[in-house]
Amino acid sequence: MSKSSPWAWFWIGLGVLYFFVPLFATLEFSLKAQKGFYSLTAYQVALTDPGFVRTFTFSLTMAAATVLVGFLLIVPTAYWVQLRLPRLRPIVELLTLLPFVVPGIVLAFGLIKLYGHPPFSFTESELSTNGLLISGYVVLALPYMYRAVDTGLRAIDVRTLTEAAQSLGASWPTILFRIIFPNLRVALLSGTFLTFAIVIGEFTLATFLNRPAFGPYMNLVGDKTYIPEALAIITFALTWASMGLIQFFSRGTPGQGPLAGTR
Amino acid sequence: MAFLEINDVQKQFAQTTAVDTFNLQVERGEFVSFLGPSGCGKTTTLRMIAGFELPTSGRIVINGNDVTHKPPNQRNVGMVFQSYALFPNMTVADNIGFGLKVAKKPAAEIKQRVEEMLKLIHLSALGNRYPYQLSGGQQQRIALARALAIKPQVLLLDEPLSALDAKIRVSLRNEIRAIQRQLGITTIYVTHDQEEALSLSDRIVVMSEGRIEQIGTPFEIYNFPLTPFVASFVGTLNVLSATVTNAGSGLLQIEGQPIRAARPIESARDGETVSIALRPEIISMNGASAGEANRLQGKVEDVSFLGSIVRIRVRFENDFIHLDTFNNPHLSLPQIGQPITVTFPREAVLVLSRAASAA
């Protein structure tokens, strides 16, 4: 067993301080709403504010819809690329990285410019504007969702499992929904939680499409003291809980051990 | 009309011909193995029968129905893969019942059939396990049960034992053959392992570079190979160059030493060079073979101890042969460099129909 270098511990310590000192400072400040002692007043105010509940619920709904639409679009695409069009993989990967290159504001203006006027006019009703917002969120979540799904697909022998199912009489929808989707459970969960984390805090698209989302709400309460810090800690806690859930579901899931059908 | 007919099937991938003019008739209940080295086209042919590859030309007919262009899920052909391909998200019972569920069979019928299949493969107690909780041998038996559960017209096995260790391979091999005989199912078995093919099959199709080299029973393939490739690929074989001295009388010369074949040589004329094949186990040392045996004189070049047999390499001037003798601790082995006379019967001389370039 190799001896740990003191420098390794130094850099780890520095990293921990870099990440945790601001977080601890924010937490500590958020607990100081009452003078002279620590309290959860800021959290109480934040969580009981009707605006918080409304915007958070709205963003959660949007996130759920984004996950659903995203996976219905991405899983069959990634599956087909892996199975039949492996040569297209670099092109598809490049396309999925575009949201990193195109700023959110450009995406927002692009969507409004193209779909906010006839013949589409999607911004004329709340429902269709929500649809536009979900489409934008799918694009923003694309790099994370695609990578999660692609990694999951690479972990199973997609081709052989598909052929085994075909030889047993299964049609394409059966293969997709009874073999592929269930075997991507961990990958889908990872993609889901990452998408939730992105959508919950998203600001630009929701603001420009004028939707009551959690991101703009956090910005609105930004001029108050203690409450934004409490909201920041709540958001952190939600993100970490999501990551914890990914870890939890990754362990001991039936069929997700050493996979049969893999070499 | 045969139960499975493969007529003039050809498969090309871009400029490469993977399978060339493949013709085969398989009778109902027959066990046929495709044997050959990697890249010989055996798996591609199997995949065309399964429907995973479309032939470039030719026809595949199962039980009188042309299935050449039918998708794989409409062929009722069971397939067992080298990598098992069990569905990781399903229990053993669900895996076996998958094909029946897809066919919308009643739940009671599925349950009964799954139990039947589990009993057939002697794994009745493992129905609730997941594939990752099973050994490789168990997984492959489940894969076999899953393929058989749908009562397929033809069972296809693509190197099903390659990923298993030697002992399990032998026991599972025997089990596959027993089940196949019990159910009488028409079976195509792809392997590169000659021992597997010889021990399992009613007939063997030996393939090389996309072409059929020979079709025959294991006995025919082993004892009467028609080409140098079959001779060299199946079993250990000595392939030697010989000059025909009298084709009508079956007379030849190996490096100036005369030998005689049991039958007249039809594939060559006097003075031509042919390839002859000799199995190592039929050659004896120092005149052990009596009567009208052929004799060749050489020197012992190497002695290899292989457990139950000892393999001796005898060098002539330019060529050499291997001969096998049973290991007997009470007999002394020849020494390296020692002159030796090897003998073999005339019937053992196989004059191959093609030149020795492939040997």
A11-15, B231-235, B290-294, B329-333: the lowest-pLDDT one: B290-294
pLDDT greater at residue A198 or residue B204? B204
Nearest residue in A to B134, CA atom = A260
Residue B259 near residue B349, CB atoms below 8 Å: yes
SS3 B257: strand
Share of chain B above pLDDT 90, in %: 74
pLDDT greater at residue B291 or residue A251? A251
Residue B116 near residue B197, CB atoms below 8 Å: no
Q: What is the DSSP string of B278-313?
A: E-GGG-EETT-S-SS-EEEEEEEEEEEE-SSEEEEE
Best B48, B70, B87, B94 member to test A by mutation, with max A CBs in 10 Å, is B87
Q: In what order do the strands lie in the sheet with B309-315?
A: B284-285, B339-344, B294-305, B309-315, B320-326
Which one, of A148, A151, A137, lies nearest residue A67 by Cα?
Answer: A137
Q: CA-to-CA distance for B105 and B335, rounded, in angstroms?
A: 70
pLDDT of res. A2: 55
Give the pairing of strands B65-66 and B57-62: antiparallel
Contact B98 A183 (CB under 8 A): no
CA angle (B106, B109, B115) in 5-degree steps:
140
Residue A260 confidence class, pLDDT cut points 50, 70, 90: very low
Partner-chain residue, chosen from B51, B84, B102, that has the shortest CB–CB distance to A260: B84
CA angle (B82, B86, B90) in 5-degree steps:
175
pLDDT of res. A59: 94
Chain B residues interacting with chain A (CB cutoff of 8 angstroms): 50-52, 71-79, 81, 83-90, 98-99, 102-103, 130-134, 139, 143, 146-147, 150, 156, 163
Measured distance between the N- and C-terminal CA atoms of chain A, rounded to whole angstroms? 31
Q: CA-to-CA distance for A214 and A26, rounded, in angstroms?
A: 19
Q: Which helix (H) or strand (E) holds A109?
A: helix A104-115
pLDDT of res. A253: 55
pLDDT of res. B259: 94
Which one, of B197, B280, B299, B191, lies nearest residue B232 by Cα?
Answer: B280
In this structure, what DSSP letter does residue B148 have? H
Residue A251 confidence class, pLDDT cut points 50, 70, 90: low
From chain A residues 152-211, the ones with a CB under 8 A of any chain B CB are 156-157, 160-161, 163-171, 174, 179, 182-183, 185
pLDDT of res. B353: 62
Which one, of B3, B2, B48, B1, lies nearest residue B22 by Cα?
Answer: B48
Q: How far is CA A39 from the centre of its chain?
A: 32
pLDDT of res. A248: 78
**pTM for this predicted structure:** 0.80
What is the average per-residue pLDDT within A165-173?
96
Q: CA-to-CA distance for B330 and B346, rounded, in angstroms?
A: 30
- Kindly list the residues from chain B whose CB atom is less than 8 angstroms away from the CB atom of residue A262: 83
What is the average per-residue pLDDT within B287-315?
85
A8-17, A98-107, B1-10, B150-159: the lowest-pLDDT one: A98-107
Residue B131 near residue A256, CB atoms below 8 Å: no
Residue A254 confidence class, pLDDT cut points 50, 70, 90: low
Partner-chain residue, chosen from A174, A258, A261, that has the shortest CB–CB distance to B85: A261
pLDDT of res. B289: 52
Residue A258 confidence class, pLDDT cut points 50, 70, 90: very low
Residue B31 has pLDDT above 80, yes or no: yes
pLDDT of res. A263: 33
Residue B46 near residue B34, CB atoms below 8 Å: yes
Contact A168 B99 (CB under 8 A): yes
Q: Burial level of A36, CB count in 10 A (0-12/13-18/19+)?
A: exposed
pLDDT of res. B286: 66
A104-113, A236-245, B50-59: the lowest-pLDDT one: A236-245
Contact B88 A260 (CB under 8 A): yes
pLDDT of res. A252: 54
pLDDT of res. B231: 84
Residue A243 near residue A193, CB atoms below 8 Å: yes
pLDDT of res. B352: 79
The whole-angstrom distance between A248's CA and the closest CA on chain B is 17
- Residue A41 one-letter amino acid: T
Residue B288 confidence class, pLDDT cut points 50, 70, 90: low
ipTM over 0.90: no
The chain-wide mean pLDDT, for chain B, equals 91
- Kindly list the residues from chain A whose CB atom is less than 8 angstroms away from the CB atom of residue B76: 169
Q: CA-to-CA distance for B196 and B184, rounded, in angstroms?
A: 19
pLDDT of res. B291: 57
The neighbour count for residue A23, using CB atoms within 10 Å, is: 12
Name residue, tokens 């069929």: A255
SS3 A220: helix
Q: CA-to-CA distance for B187 and B172, rounded, in angstroms?
A: 16
Size of interface A-B (CB pairs under 8 A): 103
